[in-house]
Structure 1
C-alpha cells in the first residue's frame, strides 16, 4: 500500500521536475555507495574539452555534496520551486521549461569557465528560485519564522543565509545573475518599447515535449503557495 501511494505521488510530479530531482538523488546515492566518486562528476574545462569527458557538462549539476543538512536544504528548494514553476507559469509549456534549463545551463557553464566552481547545481537552484520569485512578486515569505518579506527578496535572503553558514556567495550570485538574464529576456524586454522576443524555443523541443492537451485529472501544486516549510512559507499579500 505504501509503495502504491509513493508511486502514485511520484508519478504526479511533473516530468521535468521528476527527472531532474530523481537524477540528483540517484547521483548522490551512487556517490554514497561509492559506486562513483565526485572526482568523476565535477566541472573541469580541461577534462571536458581536451579529454572529451562530455558527461561532466551534466553531472556537475547533479551532485550537491554528501547527504546532510546542505543536501536536504538544496533538494527541498530545488524540488519545490522547480515544481511550482513547471506547474505554474510553465503549465502546458514543457518545451519552454526544458529550453529554460538548457539556456540557464549553457550560461552557467560559460560563466563557470571564469569562476572557480566545480559543481553548479546549487547555482541552478538559485536561478529557479529567482525566476519564480520575480514572477510571483506579491507572495509574502516567512523565512524560519524570523523574516517576513516579499518573494523577490528570497534569492538575496538565501544568499545571506549561505554567507552565515560560511559558504561562498559566488554560487548564489551566479544563480541570481543567470536567473535575471533569463527573466529580463523572457519577461521584461519583449514588453519594452522597441523590444521583442529574443528567446525562442526550438521547434524540435516543442515536438518532443509539448502535448496537445492537459490531463484533466492533474492536480498541480499552486505556484503562489510555496508553504509547508518554515524557511519557505508564503502567502499572497492581503490573503
Structure 2
C-alpha cells in the first residue's frame, strides 16, 4: 500500500518543496483556505495542503522520514493484507483533519497527518521500546507526545501535533477500542468499493482447477522442498 501511495504522495511532497525552491510554485498556491476552496472552487487545495512540508531542511527531512517509516510499519503490521482498510484510514483521517481545519488557523496539514500515523502505530504497539536520538527511552505510546515536545523545543506551534494526536485517537478509539466495549460495535466500515479496488479476492477453497497440460510432460514451475 505504501508502494501504491508513495509514488503519489512522497514524490509530490518532495516536488512541492523542490518547485517552491525554484519559485515555480509558491505556498500561496497550495495552502488550505476554505474561502478560496468553496467560493472560488480551488478544490486542489484540499489535497495540496497535505503535500507541502516547507522548504527543504531539517523539518522537511524529519517529517518525510517519519511519514515513510510509520506508514510502512502500519502497512506491514496491523494492516497487512488489508489494503482497503489502510486507504480508508487515510481518507477518514484526511477528511476529519479538513473539517477541523475549518475551525483552527492552520494552512498546511501534512505534519498533522504524519503525527496521526505515528499515534495509530504507537497505540497498536504499546510494548515497543523507543530510543529518541539516544537521549530518551520510553514505551511507544509516548512517542507522539515526545515529538510534540521536540516540536515545541524547536519553536514550532504544537497545534499541528495536537490535531494529529486528536484525529489519530478518534480513529484508534472507533476502530480498536469501542468495538470491544460492552454494547459497542464497529462504527467505521470500509466501503465495499474500496475493497473491490484494493483488496485481492480470496481464492475459493472449493475450487479445484484441472491440471494444465505442459509441453514434454515436465512439471514447469513446480518446486521441491530442499533436501527432499
TM-score, normalising length: structure 2? 0.79
Question: What's the offset of the Cα at 1:230?
Answer: 50
Higher relative contact order at CA 8 Å, sep ≥6: structure 1 or structure 2? Answer: 1
Question: What's the offset of the Cα at 1:236?
Answer: 33
Q: Which runs of 5+ in 2 are unaligned?
A: 1-7, 10-20
Alignment partners' CA distance in 2, 1:74 and 1:223 = 51
Question: What's the offset of the Cα at 1:92?
Answer: 1.0
Q: Which stretch of the first structure deviates more once superposed, 210-219 or 100-109? A: 210-219
The answer to whether the 8 Å contact 1:159/1:172 transfers is yes
The answer to whether the 8 Å contact 1:138/1:237 transfers is no
Alignment partners' CA distance in 2, 1:176 and 1:83 = 19
Question: What's the offset of the Cα at 1:35?
Answer: 2.3
Matched, 1:139 2:128: yes
Question: What's the offset of the Cα at 1:34?
Answer: 2.4
* Distance verdict in 2 for CA 1:60–1:107, change over 3 Å: same
The answer to whether the 8 Å contact 2:123/2:141 transfers is yes
* Distance verdict in 2 for CA 1:83–1:224, change over 3 Å: farther
Hey, which bits of structure 1, 4+ residues long, moved more than 2 A?
32-35, 212-239
Alignment partners' CA distance in 1, 2:143 and 2:210 = 19
* Distance verdict in 2 for CA 1:197–1:113, change over 3 Å: same
Specify which of 170, 173, 181 is matched with residue 184 of structure 1.
173
Alignment partners' CA distance in 1, 2:216 and 2:147 = 16
Deviations 1:80-111 (A, max 9, x none): 00110011111111111110001000110011
Alignment partners' CA distance in 2, 1:108 and 1:42 = 14
| Cα RMSD for the two superposed structures | 11.6
* Distance verdict in 2 for CA 1:134–1:219, change over 3 Å: farther
The answer to whether the 8 Å contact 2:214/2:220 transfers is no
Residue correspondences, number: 210
* Distance verdict in 2 for CA 1:124–1:226, change over 3 Å: farther
Question: What's the offset of the Cα at 1:37?
Answer: 1.4
The answer to whether the 8 Å contact 1:144/1:230 transfers is no
